[in-house]
């Protein structure tokens, strides 16, 4: 299959470039800047990402452009553009002031194929400390802003283009047009990558890979593992056994509801209620990292004990998606963070690993779910942390605290699903992730009737995002907030105050622990 290679120089928006290319029904692969696949005949173009470095930094990432310049179409973005200029004979210097934020392309050469269909004075997004003061001799300027003369330039002898702005971000209003011009018109993508083609090819590959082998899949109730299960079920049917572990910290009635959903989908599912073990092992533990480790350890123990009963299993399937694998290694190969779906299998399981979604971004997983005919409430389900409500309860975990938070969270999330905004969509569909947090280490004074209360506050969290790498707090309507707050305080025993978290990521994280 045709593919675009995106060479990652460490930009925070590299994944966004990938998602934009996939939106053009074109497969792409994000690779470290120094791992270009020299002998892959399916590569039709190369994009160089931005970077936190200056091209003049001693530790700046460098690539041998001769591997692809002159052989494949190339697009440099931000640092990628500066690196092309710096390497091929241009000049990159420190800008008098950091060029960051909105700018307008006041001069655009719309006869150049990269800017076909562009409007003059189109808004773009800048984010760089250096600027290109001179372009290489065989290049010409094709786009300028009031402050940046060399905002876009192209080679007159080879298929090389470079832009100092970020076409992948939302604030570059015609960024999708620019990327389409490059990927489809310049590189010649046949736009064969789609949810339907992915389902057909993946089912065929799974049948060939797995044959009549038995496969075990750990379900979480989330969209990734659910789509992976339905995809595998289509390929191997009852040779797939799914295990859904209830650690006692799921949302209210979630275990029963999700089990019913899975059975309706025709999946072979084993439900395990292990809540007593988890609560016992978490008793008195307040440190967030220790809570996560205990839950992770117990989950593996419970899952393995159940999996060992399936003596003829040869494969373990996981809902690993593409960002999981990108985030787990940085471009130097050093681990940034461990991920629950990445890092190998317990040796004692003696199973091979199957990851049918490993090339998909989250929005692509949802499109595949719709292609498979899954119910919309499973597909649009918000992300939910693996440790569940344990990382939304500050302090130690008890069944009573979980009960309080489940009740408050249920009122909040149900309210988001029921509130229809002025555009006809629900608040739930507009929000990337939402949930309640119990501040169980804090008590506040309140008055209910004629009595003084001394109970816990609950904080509500809702964020908007595209990939969870960055997130902004959701500006929910006041009338909705008033109704939800009133309902929680009136109906949930143990809560007498409701707050709303208006922190963005960064500097805050989405979850509190």
What positions carry a catalytic annotation? 78, 166, 168
Residue 10: count other Cβ atoms within 10 Å of its Cβ: 18
Contact 230, 372 (CB under 8 A): yes
Contact 155, 138 (CB under 8 A): yes
**Tokens at 31, concatenated:** 């690779």
User: For residues 443 and 165, what is the distance between their CA atoms, to the nearest angstrom?
Assistant: 49
Place of tokens 């998909």: 360
Nearest to 503 by CA among 469, 466, 468, 461: 461
In 1-121 the beta strands, taken as DSSP E runs, fall at 3-8, 28-32, 43-48, 74-77, 91-105, 107-108
Cα 421 to its chain centre, rounded Å, is 25
Identify the helix (H) or strand (E) that includes residue 270: strand 269-273
Place of tokens 């490993």: 358
**Tokens at 449, concatenated:** 């009737």
Residue 390 vs residues 253, 281, 296, 331: alpha-carbon distances, Å: 16, 12, 12, 32
Nearest to 131 by CA among 144, 112, 118, 117: 144
Identify the helix (H) or strand (E) that includes residue 486: helix 478-491
Residue 134 vs residues 88, 138, 140, 141, 473: alpha-carbon distances, Å: 11, 12, 10, 10, 41
User: For residues 508 and 512, what is the distance between their CA atoms, to the nearest angstrom?
Assistant: 8
Pairing relationship of beta strands 43-48 and 28-32 according to DSSP bridges:
unpaired
CA angle 382, 385, 387 (to 5 degrees): 150
């Amino acid at each position: 299959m045709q593919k675009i290679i995106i060479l990652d120089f460490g930009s925070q928006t590299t994944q966004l470039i990938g998602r934009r290319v996939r939106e053009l029904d074109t497969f792409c692969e994000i690779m470290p800047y120094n791992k270009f696949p020299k002998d892959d005949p399916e590569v039709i173009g190369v994009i160089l990402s931005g970077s936190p470095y200056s091209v003049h930094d001693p530790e700046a990432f460098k690539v041998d452009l001769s591997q692809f310049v002159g052989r494949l179409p190339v697009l440099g973005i931000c640092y990628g553009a500066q690196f092309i200029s710096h390497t091929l004979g241009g000049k990159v210097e420190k800008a008098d002031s950091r060029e960051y934020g909105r700018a307008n392309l006041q001069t655009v050469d719309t006869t150049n194929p990269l800017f076909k269909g562009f409007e003059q004075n189109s808004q773009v997004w800048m984010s760089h400390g250096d600027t290109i003061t001179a372009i290489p001799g065989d290049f010409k300027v094709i786009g300028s802003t009031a402050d940046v003369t060399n905002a876009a330039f192209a080679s007159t002898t080879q298929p090389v283009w470079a832009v100092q702005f970020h076409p992948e971000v939302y604030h570059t209003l015609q960024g999708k047009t620019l990327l389409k011009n490059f990927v489809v018109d310049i590189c010649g993508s046949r736009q064969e990558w789609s949810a339907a083609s992915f389902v057909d090819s993946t089912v065929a590959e799974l049948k060939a890979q797995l044959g009549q082998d038995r496969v075990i899949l750990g379900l979480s109730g989330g969209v990734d593992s659910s789509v992976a299960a339905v995809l595998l079920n289509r390929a191997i049917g009852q040779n797939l056994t799914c295990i859904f572990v209830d650690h006692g910290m799921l949302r209210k009635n979630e275990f029963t509801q999700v089990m019913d959903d899975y059975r309706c989908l025709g999946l072979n599912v084993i439900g395990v209620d292990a809540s007593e073990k988890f609560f016992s092992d978490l008793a008195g533990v307040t440190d967030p990292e220790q809570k996560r480790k205990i839950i992770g350890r117990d989950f593996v123990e419970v899952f393995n004990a159940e999996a060992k009963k399936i003596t003829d299993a040869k494969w373990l399937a996981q809902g690993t998606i593409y960002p999981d694998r990108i985030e787990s290694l940085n471009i130097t190969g050093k681990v940034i963070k461990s991920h629950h779906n990445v890092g190998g299998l317990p040796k004692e399981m003696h199973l091979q690993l199957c990851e049918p979604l490993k090339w998909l971004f989250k929005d692509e997983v949802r499109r595949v779910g719709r292609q498979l005919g899954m119910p919309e409430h499973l597909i649009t389900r918000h992300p939910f942390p693996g440790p569940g409500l344990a990382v939304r309860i500050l302090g130690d975990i008890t069944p009573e605290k979980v009960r309080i938070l489940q009740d408050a969270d249920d009122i909040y999330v149900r309210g988001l699903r029921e509130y229809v905004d002025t555009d006809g969509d629900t608040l739930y569909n507009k929000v990337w992730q939402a949930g309640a947090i119990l501040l169980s280490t804090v008590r506040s004074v309140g008055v209910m009737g004629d009595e003084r209360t001394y109970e816990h506050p609950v904080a509500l969290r809702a964020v908007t995002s595209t990939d969870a790498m960055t997130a902004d707090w959701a500006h929910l309507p006041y009338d909705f907030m008033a109704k939800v707050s009133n309902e929680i305080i009136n109906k949930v025993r143990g809560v007498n105050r409701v707050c709303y978290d208006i922190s963005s990521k960064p500097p805050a994280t989405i979850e509190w622990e």
